Amino acid sequence: MNKKTSNFFPSMTGLRAFEAAARHHSFTRAAIELNLTQSAVSHQIRKLEELLGVSLFDRVGNEIQMTESGLEYYNVARTTITEIRFATDRAIRQGQDDVLTIGALSTFAVKCLLPNLKDFTENNPDIDLRLRILPTSPDASRDDCDVLMLYGQEANWPGFIATRVTVEELFPVCSPALLEGPNALRNPADLAEHTIVRTISPLILRDDWPFWLRRAGVAQLSLSKEITCDLLYPSYQLAIEGLGVAMGRSAVVKGDIAAGRLVEPFSIRLPSSLGYHIMHPPHRIATPKVERFVTWVRDVLSAKLSDDGMPAGVPPAEILEDEDEDETEG
C-alpha cells in the first residue's frame, strides 16, 4: 500500500474546491461560490492532485473537464461533503430549541400541511420551521427531522409515537367539466367511457381502483383508457386539468373540492384503515417545540382535514380489512 495514501487525507478546503470546480466546470465560478480567489482554488486542486497522484481535470483553454479519475473521485467527494453538511446541520439543530424540522411526504405537504401551516406560525412565532420533503418510501428511523408525517398504520412504526391525523376515505374525483356534455359522469358504469388515472409504481404496490369498483357494484367494469403516475400529486393535477378521473383520498383532495377544482361525481366512498400520521421517537416529545407542533396537528390540523367532524384516531365503523394495504403515499 502506498504510504502516502494510507497516512494522509485531503483537506476539507481542497475537497470543497474540487467539488465546486467539478460541479461548475469552472475554477472561476468555484472561487465565487467559495469566496476565494481563482488562484487559491487552483492551488487547492493542485495540492489534491499531488496527494492523489492523478490528474483530476483536463485543462483545455479556459475550460476544464474531469478526467476519468476525477469523475470517480467527484462522486465520492460530493457524497462525503453532503453527508458532512447534513451532520453539521443536525449537530447545530440539536442545540436550537427554536428550530423545528418537519419531514413530510410530498402530496401531504403540498395539499394538507402547507395550506394550513400559517395558523401554526402565527401562534408560535418563536419557532422557525424547516420542511424536508421525504421520498416515497421514507426511512422512519432518519434522525434529521424532529417529526415525520407518514402514511400507513401505527403498527408500521414500532418504537415510535404515532398519532393519527386523518381518517381516510377513498373515492373518485374529477374536473367539474366531466360532469357536463353527452359523456357526462352520472353513475359508476360511465367510467368505462372516461380515462382513469392510476397511481402505481414499484414503491406503491396497491391500486385502489379495483377495490372501489367492487364497492360500487361494478367490479367487472372494463376500463379501456388510463394514465399511470408514480406519485399522487400529478395524478390529482391530471384530474384537475380534465384529463381523467383519479382516486381521491379524502384529506388530500378536500381543499381542491372546496375550491371547485375537483368534484366527487358519485356518493360512494371506500373507508380505509390507513391514514396520515405524525410520528416521532419517544424522546423528542420532551422538547417544547415538538410538543407544541404535535398538539397543533392533533387539535387543529386534524380538524381542518376531517371530512365529517370525526376526531382523528377514531376509524370509521367499516374499514377495508380484507386486503393487504400499502403504506406508501406517492
Are residue 192 and residue 127 in the same domain, yes or no? no
Which stretch of DSSP H or E encloses residue 102? strand 99-105
List the single range of 58-62, 104-108, 231-235, 322-326 with lowest mean pLDDT.
Answer: 322-326
In a domain? residue 310: no
Beta strands 169-173 and 270-271 are: antiparallel
Which is more confident, 315 or 42? 42
Are residue 152 and residue 182 in the same domain, yes or no? no
Place of cell 407544541: 292
Indicate the angle between helix axes 68-94 and 12-24, nearest 10 degrees.
120
Are residue 71 and residue 218 in the same domain, yes or no? no
Are residue 267 and residue 281 in the same domain, yes or no? no
pLDDT tens figures, 301-320: 999 998 653 333 333 333 34
Q: Distance between CA atoms of 171 and 43, rounded to whole angstroms?
A: 62
In a domain? residue 329: no
What does the radius of gyration of the chain's CA atoms come to, in whole angstroms?
A: 26
Q: How many domains does the chain divide into?
A: 3
Name the DSSP letter for residue 90: H
Place of cell 421520498: 135
Q: Residue 159 — φ and ψ, nearest 5°?
A: 90, -5
Sign of CA dihedral 90, 94, 98, 100: positive
Are residue 173 and residue 153 in the same domain, yes or no? no
Name the DSSP letter for residue 82: H
In a domain? residue 236: yes
List the single range of 106-120, 139-153, 233-247, 249-263 with lowest mean pLDDT.
Answer: 139-153
The predicted structure's pLDDT at residue 49 = 92
The predicted structure's pLDDT at residue 56 = 94
The predicted structure's pLDDT at residue 269 = 95
Q: 302 with 125: CB under 8 angstroms?
A: no
Query: Residues 93-122: what's their mean pLDDT?
Result: 88
Q: Distance between CA atoms of 82 and 25, rounded to whole angstroms?
A: 19
Cα distance between the two ends of the chain:
48
pLDDT tens figures, 239-251: 999 999 999 999 9
Are residue 278 and residue 191 in the same domain, yes or no? no
Are residue 249 and residue 212 in the same domain, yes or no? yes
Q: What is the pLDDT confidence band of residue 5, given thresholds at 50, 70 and 90?
A: very low
In a domain? residue 315: no
The predicted structure's pLDDT at residue 327 = 45
In a domain? residue 327: no
∠ CA(257), CA(258), CA(259), 5° rounding? 90
Percent pLDDT > 70 in the chain is: 82
Structure-block grid coordinates of residue 84: 458532512
Which DSSP string corresponds to 14-79? Answer: HHHHHHHHHHHT-HHHHHHHHT--HHHHHHHHHHHHHHHTS--EEEETTEEEE-HHHHHHHHHHHH
Q: What is the pLDDT confidence band of residue 59, given thresholds at 50, 70 and 90?
A: confident
Residue 277 has pLDDT above 70, yes or no: yes
Check which CATH number belongs to the domain holding 149 and give it: 3.40.190.10
CA–CA distances in Å: residue 89 to residues 14, 16, 75, 77, 103: 21, 17, 21, 18, 15
Are residue 26 and residue 118 in the same domain, yes or no? no
Q: What is the pLDDT confidence band of residue 187, given thresholds at 50, 70 and 90?
A: very high
Where in the sequence is the domain holding 296, given as residue range(s)? 96-165+274-305
The predicted structure's pLDDT at residue 96 = 56
Sort residue 225 into left (φ over 0), alpha (ψ -120 to 50) or beta.
beta
Q: What is the pLDDT confidence band of residue 326, given thresholds at 50, 70 and 90?
A: very low
- At 322, is the secondary structure helix, strand, or coil? coil
Q: Distance between CA atoms of 248 and 235, rounded to whole angstroms?
A: 9
- At 126, is the secondary structure helix, strand, or coil? coil
Are residue 254 and residue 200 in the same domain, yes or no? yes
